[in-house]
Amino acid sequence: MNRRVAAVAIGVGVALSVVAFYEVRRYFFTSASNTTLTAEEIRQNYLDHLPSSTVSLHSTTVAPSSSQHDSVPLAATTAPLPVSILPKPGVYRYDTIGTDSVDALNGQHHDYPAVTTMTVVPFGCGVMQRWDVLKERWAESQRCVSGRSISQPTFTTYDEFFGQAQTDAYQCAGDPRPVDASAGTSFAFDCVKSDATDSYSGVVIGTEPMSIGGVTVQALHVRISIAHETPRDTQLTDRWFQVGTDLMLAQRVLNDTTNPSVLGKVNYRERVEMHLISLEPQS
């Protein structure tokens, strides 16, 4: 998220130079769109990306959440899944408190819904996990098993401000994340897109009990940060995974980045708190 809003701001700046003020003044006074999907749309999105041999139509209803898969298709495969480590395919629901914003022009922000979803489908060497927040905000990552660790070969983020869409697709390489490790265990990896490289540093904070839907499980607390040239820029993510698996139980995100643009510096800010509602996915 540290660079994608720069392109949005540049697009807005170009628009200002060629369009009359009355055509763009709405950008100065309105908040960003916050468009959620219905429960049935979320469920259908999941079914659409399952391998045909595994699709089973159930009557389970998924709680309202977020975004359709409108940019990067999940070309699911029938690769076998080591389910003891990777989450079961399905739709996981998270209680969520969050927002993100940019301060370009008079600023815009997204208010995240009270429930967001993580959709897991078979893909390539493992699974694709897609976090749907809004039609205007989503993220997905490929997850694969590497011994007793999880690698992330690719991930993609999408955000939309001022009616301008920004999709960033990354290729990643480096240390995989351990699924069970002692406090202080560290790992590092780089994620590259066409014009940028982000360097991640991770450390295991420790193991702690966590209640999910009335069931107490052990959670591995991992903290991941991104190195920045600007000292006051911060991208810090705390995640809690069920010990021995890649099932995310909770997440806390603190992002504050500064990005150059033709309008000057544009500041992006994101704050997210998430907590898994049930250990069993819906489908």
Kindly state whether residue 281 falls inside one of the protein's structural domains.
no
Structural domain containing residue 38: 4-276
Kindly state whether residue 283 falls inside one of the protein's structural domains.
no
Cβ contact 220:179 at 8 Å: yes
> Which pLDDT does position 161 carry in this prediction?
80
Kindly state whether residue 221 falls inside one of the protein's structural domains.
yes
> Which pLDDT does position 8 carry in this prediction?
43
Residue with tokens 């869409």: 165
Kindly state whether residue 10 falls inside one of the protein's structural domains.
yes
Kind plus residue range of the DSSP H or E element containing 224: strand 215-226
For residue 257, which of 189, 209, 196, 171 has the smallest C-alpha distance? 196
- Cα–Cα distances (Å) from 111 to 36, 52, 267, in that order, read 11, 35, 17
> Which pLDDT does position 234 carry in this prediction?
87
Number of domains in the chain: 1
Kindly state whether residue 115 falls inside one of the protein's structural domains.
yes
Kindly state whether residue 83 falls inside one of the protein's structural domains.
yes
> Which pLDDT does position 164 carry in this prediction?
81
Kindly state whether residue 282 falls inside one of the protein's structural domains.
no
The pTM assigned to this predicted structure is 0.76
Per-residue three-class SS string for 22-83: HHHCHHHHCCCCCCCCCHHHHHHHHHHCCCCCCCCCCCCCCCCCCCCCCCCCCCCCCCCCCC
Residue by residue, pLDDT tens for the chain (283 residues) are: 444 444 444 344 433 333 333 333 333 334 456 676 666 777 666 666 666 434 332 323 333 333 333 333 333 344 445 557 999 999 999 999 999 888 877 788 889 999 999 999 999 899 999 999 988 889 999 999 999 999 999 999 998 887 888 898 999 999 999 999 999 999 999 999 987 889 999 999 999 999 999 999 999 999 999 987 666 788 999 999 999 999 999 999 999 988 766 666 888 899 999 999 999 998 7
